[in-house]
Amino acid sequence: MELCIQHAKARHNRSVDSIADLMGQPNKWSIYKWVESGRIPTVLIRPFEAACGISFVTQYLAASDHKLLIDMPTGKAASASDINALQSTFTAAVQQLLLFADGQHDHEATLAAIDAAMTDLASHRANVERYDQPELDFGTRQDEA
């Protein structure tokens, strides 16, 4: 929670007062209490993260249960270049794994490469899953289509 507040200050120039205002809290002291105790009401996690502009609390909760989080894809048609980028991501991940297995690479870079490949693949999975239920394309007008 402290990292969220630091991010809000550094990136959005938001004080604890402005975070409380954005959350609809009557004062900043409840936020200070949550940070001090490490406890925040569950229904206020998302408003807190939205006010801070980052989701460190959610990421912590997932990581503490050994879960992997990925951003939800928006759903768009894949192009040939998208598939080539996916292949490149897989190739990089496999290369990192081979180097790691030979003891030539550290585990953090290897995990980052694997996470990138999994994220890209999950994005394509969501696009395929939504194929029968396409999302509205607000970028084109009806008379242009």
List pLDDT tens digits, range 26-66: 989 999 999 999 899 999 999 999 999 999 999 999 989 98
pLDDT of residue 135: 59
C-beta atoms surrounding 78 within 10 Å: 13
What is the rounded CA–CA span in Å between residue 49 and residue 14?
A: 12
- pLDDT in the model for residue 68: 77
Identify the pLDDT of residue 74: 63
- pTM above the 0.75 mark? no
What local confidence, expressed as pLDDT, does residue 23 receive? Answer: 93
For the chain, give the number of residues.
145
Give me 69's structure tokens: 């989080």
Higher pLDDT, 80 or 28: 28
CA distances from 92 to 62, 63, 70, 115 (A): 26, 24, 19, 11
Q: Which helix (H) or strand (E) holds 17?
A: helix 16-23
- Please state, for a pLDDT cut of 70, what percent of the chain lies above it: 86
Q: Please choose, from the candidates 70, 25, 75, the residue with its C-alpha nearest in 3D space to the C-alpha of residue 52.
A: 25
Q: Taking 90 as the threshold, does the pLDDT of residue 5 lie above it?
A: yes
